[in-house]
Chains A and B, each alone.
Chain A
Amino acid sequence: MPFRIIVEKRVEDVPKWLPAATSLGAVVLAFLICGVILELIGGDALRVLRFFYQATFGSWGVFSDTLVKATPLILVGLACTVAFRMRLWNIGAEGQFYVGAFAASLVVLVPLVSPDRPKVVILTAMLVMGLIGGAVWAFIPGLLKARYQVNEIITTLMLNYVAILWNNYWIFGKWSEGGFQMTPTFARSSWLPRLADYAREIPAFAGITLHLGVVFAIIAAAIVWWVLYRSRWGYEINLIGDNPQAARYAGINISRNIILVLMFSGALAGLAGMSEISGVVHRLQERISPGYGFTGIIVAWLAKLNPFAVILVSILFGALILAGREIQPSGLPQLLQGIILFMVISSDVLLRYKIRLERAVVSKP
């Protein structure tokens, strides 16, 4: 062979643009691979791609739907980002999402606030309850880890099931509407404002379902960024994440931070639950989340734990979920999701190694 492929460990710094470029390349490649698979099984890849585009970014209407799907993903993605920065493996965002949704519903269902009060009051109450609900649910594994060194992966995972069953109990047993596994629709005063609500003033908004939750998500991303990159607390989180022993030596209370960071993470996931029931579903029901909490883990990872990248990755995954609904039951988007994840994780190799093509030298005897 005249040429050899040589893989060497990188000595120099990775150029600033490279991580973004490889991630983008990985996504493109994943689409290509999916296309090849489609062609192989006799499909028309180009048509599917066109359809995918039409269904997700093709018009303001569908793009708004994409953003609506992206909203909960951004919030759970941020939830995971915060925890993962400290190497706390919170895989319980799903459960925290459910408990957040449940707590926010209490405002309407108990009701904690009368439906006749102004919308701002009701929504603020729901927002606060959503945050608290998620935070409380994450407090449990936090306390167990801080006090008794119980592995948070197991506790957060298990509490997901508890949260979902807890939710089911109430929607089946207490607030069921006519025996279905859902509560009655909430009063309009507890709905997050949508663009469509302003269609009378601005006709272009007619039918656009984008709701205030997306603003919550973007504000949350900005807050998380500030906390992680500018605040004292963020410095502590990064230090603990990089070297817990050095953090302890620097006088940082690690137990307290385990609890606080998990609660912050849980609050973000709980907010996602609140935004979902108040902005989209308008009632508490079974399966309010098609696994957002788990997708959030992937989102955070693909975004390399950068809060703003979380927004972009979430929009891509929002589009995949949306297209999934349209192309059902082919399962193509899940395939694509899997391949993207696989490609992005493998592309990390490019960041750590350098690949060269070299003319093979015949070594002297």
Chain B
Amino acid sequence: MSEYAVEMCDIVIRFPGVLANDHVNFTLKPGEIHALLGENGAGKSTLMNVLAGLYQPTSGQIKINDQVVQFHSPKDAIAQGIGMVHQHFMLVPSQTVTENILLGLERPRFFLNLPQFDQQILALQEQFGLRVDPKAKIWQLSVGEQQRVEILKTLYRGANILIMDEPTAVLAPKEITELMKTLRQMANQGKSIIFISHKLHEVMAIADRVTVLRKGRVTAAGQPMAGLTRAELAQMMVGRKVVFTVEKRPHDPGEVVLRLQNVSAENDKGLPALKNVSLEIRSGEILGIAGVSGNGQSELAQVITGLRPCQGLITVNGQPVSNRPPIEAIRLGVSHIPEDRTKVGTAPNLSITENSIMKNYRDDPIGDGWRINFNNARTYARNLKEKYAILAPGVRTLARKLSGGNLQKVILAREISAHPRLIVAVQPTRGLDVGAIESIQTLLLEQRDEGAAILLISEELEELMALSDRIAGMFSGMIMGTVPAQLRYLDEIGLMMTGTLIDQ
């Protein structure tokens, strides 16, 4: 057996205006889990896209099991046993798990003996502990299960080398634990895994070795994980010391900004998603919503911003916003950091400028009567790019060319800089690197100190504790109680998240 399953030597990838990979070397040993770390825009996804055959490097060489290979398309990479699970799943919602796994394969050609394939897939699941019903339709599955389907898809195609691009960003904590177990099991059976994540504690828990990229260059090449601390990792990534705790001043709540009274709503499938929710947030206050995703958090954000109909009353500064078009909430100063940055938050084929004026193109100085003053719009976008350290060649760059974290920053810049009265923030720091998380959290606290009310929906307890003033637990569409965001209430928060009512 060769020493390395994968060897990437001197890889250079140049995009217009960006050197995304600058002579990168990367090695992967058989049976190891190798973490790939780096700031937003450091070039991690790009490097992995090269390995998966999506991009051809300007120069450089790839060796698989000591053999030089050249990939001209993902097909070539799959033939060499490389499989990639992208952050945005590529599944057909109306088809079953088995159908999705077989999709695009040469065989079966004409007749689909589904039960037989169901069996094969069950056997594969057994081997790696990836449980999901082969007959279920994709739309019925949770995000975690869909991810398992993606993994099964690559395994079914014979992948020995598995690339996972930020797999945990979309998962609930429990699903993350399960994924970790599966990955370990796969590695034990000889598969090699590349794991990209911004969550350092996960990386430290699972990875054998780590490679760190910064601005397209390698700053740590395949260092053994053992012995590295979180602070050291962070320093290698961003090149400076990172303070993991943001400073939160004592809060001084003002009048009520957001009020929900007995609000109920249905989800997309027509099932009850919110049940009689009542809550209040005051100016200068951050209310955190703790809960396992899928318990009504998304719907909560949507009814407040006018994107989903509901029963009951929602007011912002005393003005009703429930069941009104989204524009009314926007006019009342409601900002919304949506859960899904590509489906809802941005338009992929429009520029950074056009994406940053989505909420204020009607107003002076960008809106000017019937026209849009694009000069002012560009100046505005340039300022945001500067202030939020959005990494891109220019503001004319199309949104789809941004790295995941930088796209998230465009949304954050747009929504936070509008001087909102209320911010509805769903997983605001998802996909951001440690440095960016620190600065975004600081900015959110600044908004709070200036009198904004913030509804923070997050699955990360650490983030909720760091930012919130009060924390409400959500379970099955109901608010189970509210407690101050202090460490001594951690038990209560856990109880609320699993369905116990807490009186406060």
List residues of A whose CB falls within 8 A of some B CB.
6-9, 11-13, 230-233, 235, 238-239, 242-243, 245-253, 361, 363-364
Q: In the bound complex, what is the Cα–Cα distance between A246 and B305 (angstroms)? A: 13
Which of A6, A242, A250 lies in contact with B348, CB distance below 8 A?
Answer: A242
Contacts of A9 in B (CB 8 A): 54-55, 73
Q: In the bound complex, what is the Cα–Cα distance between A13 and B14 (angstroms)? A: 11
Contacts of B336 in A (CB 8 A): 249
Q: Are B16 and A246 in touch, CB under 8 angstroms?
A: no
Contacts of A235 in B (CB 8 A): 354, 357, 361, 372
Which of A11, A249, A252, A361 lies in contact with B13, CB distance below 8 A?
Answer: A11
* Total number of B residues with any Cβ neighbor in A under 8 Å: 40
Q: Are A243 and B346 in touch, CB under 8 angstroms?
A: yes
Q: Are A233 and B370 in touch, CB under 8 angstroms?
A: yes
Q: Are B327 and A251 in touch, CB under 8 angstroms?
A: yes
5 further A-B contacts with Cβ under 8 Å, apart from A8-B72, A13-B16, A238-B354, are: A12-B14, A231-B370, A246-B343, A249-B305, A250-B326
Proximity bits, B340-372, A CB within 8 Å = 1, else 0 = 000111111110001001110110000100111
Q: Are B374 and A230 in touch, CB under 8 angstroms?
A: yes
Q: Are B372 and A231 in touch, CB under 8 angstroms?
A: yes
Q: In the bound complex, what is the Cα–Cα distance between A9 and B75 (angstroms)? A: 12
Q: Are A242 and B16 in touch, CB under 8 angstroms?
A: no
- Do A251 and B372 form a contact, CB below 8 Å, given A11-B13, A232-B361, A242-B347? no
Contacts of B370 in A (CB 8 A): 231-233
Q: Are A363 and B358 in touch, CB under 8 angstroms?
A: no
- Do A231 and B55 form a contact, CB below 8 Å, given A250-B359, A251-B326? no
Nearest Cβ on chain A to B351's Cβ, whole angstroms: 11
Contacts of A250 in B (CB 8 A): 326, 330, 358-359
Judged by a CB distance under 8 angstroms, whether B110 is at the interface is: no
Q: In the bound complex, what is the Cα–Cα distance between A232 and B326 (angstroms)? A: 18
- 30 A–B contacts from the bound complex (CB under 8 Å): A6-B72, A12-B15, A230-B371, A230-B374, A231-B371, A232-B362, A232-B370, A232-B371, A232-B372, A233-B370, A239-B347, A239-B358, A242-B347, A245-B343, A245-B344, A246-B343, A246-B347, A246-B358, A247-B347, A248-B326, A249-B305, A249-B307, A249-B345, A249-B358, A250-B358, A251-B326, A251-B359, A253-B325, A361-B70, A363-B68
Contacts of B95 in A (CB 8 A): none
List residues of B whose CB falls within 8 A of some A CB.
13-16, 54-56, 67-70, 72-73, 305, 307, 325-327, 330, 336, 338, 343-350, 354, 357-359, 361-362, 367, 370-372, 374
Contacts of B348 in A (CB 8 A): 242-243
Q: In the bound complex, what is the Cα–Cα distance between A238 and B355 (angstroms)? A: 11
Q: Are A239 and B354 in touch, CB under 8 angstroms?
A: yes
Nearest to A227 among chain B residues (CB) is B370
Contacts of A12 in B (CB 8 A): 14-16
Nearest Cβ on chain A to B216's Cβ, whole angstroms: 15
Q: Are B68 and A230 in touch, CB under 8 angstroms?
A: no
Q: Are B372 and A238 in touch, CB under 8 angstroms?
A: no
Q: Are B372 and A11 in touch, CB under 8 angstroms?
A: no
Contacts of A8 in B (CB 8 A): 56, 72-73
Q: Are A230 and B338 in touch, CB under 8 angstroms?
A: no
Q: Are A230 and B372 in touch, CB under 8 angstroms?
A: yes
Q: Are A364 and B67 in touch, CB under 8 angstroms?
A: yes
Q: In the bound complex, what is the Cα–Cα distance between A251 and B414 (angstroms)? A: 14
Q: Are B346 and A246 in touch, CB under 8 angstroms?
A: yes
- Do A246 and B345 form a contact, CB below 8 Å, given A235-B354, A238-B350, A251-B326? yes
Q: In the bound complex, what is the Cα–Cα distance between A8 and B76 (angstroms)? A: 12
Contacts of B359 in A (CB 8 A): 250-251
Q: Are B372 and A249 in touch, CB under 8 angstroms?
A: no
Q: In the bound complex, what is the Cα–Cα distance between A235 and B374 (angstroms)? A: 11
Q: In the bound complex, what is the Cα–Cα distance between A275 and B16 (angstroms)? A: 46
Contacts of B371 in A (CB 8 A): 230-232
Nearest Cβ on chain B to A352's Cβ, whole angstroms: 13
Contacts of A238 in B (CB 8 A): 347, 350, 354
Q: In the bound complex, what is the Cα–Cα distance between A230 and B54 (angstroms)? A: 36
Contacts of A11 in B (CB 8 A): 13, 15, 55-56
Residue from A230, A246, A364 with most neighbouring chain B CB atoms (10 Å): A246
Nearest to A236 among chain B residues (CB) is B361
Q: In the bound complex, what is the Cα–Cα distance between A364 and B349 (angstroms)? A: 42
Nearest Cβ on chain B to A176's Cβ, whole angstroms: 45
Q: Are A364 and B344 in touch, CB under 8 angstroms?
A: no
Q: In the bound complex, what is the Cα–Cα distance between A239 and B357 (angstroms)? A: 11
- Do A7 and B72 form a contact, CB below 8 Å, given A232-B370, A242-B349? yes
Q: Are B326 and A246 in touch, CB under 8 angstroms?
A: no
Q: In the bound complex, what is the Cα–Cα distance between A7 and B76 (angstroms)? A: 12
Q: In the bound complex, what is the Cα–Cα distance between A246 and B370 (angstroms)? A: 21
Q: In the bound complex, what is the Cα–Cα distance between A142 and B198 (angstroms)? A: 47
Nearest Cβ on chain B to A80's Cβ, whole angstroms: 19
Q: In the bound complex, what is the Cα–Cα distance between A231 and B366 (angstroms)? A: 11
Contacts of B338 in A (CB 8 A): 249
Contacts of A253 in B (CB 8 A): 325, 327
Q: In the bound complex, what is the Cα–Cα distance between A251 and B370 (angstroms)? A: 17
- Do A248 and B372 form a contact, CB below 8 Å, given A11-B13, A232-B367, A242-B349? no
Residue from A8, A230, A247, A251 with most neighbouring chain B CB atoms (10 Å): A251
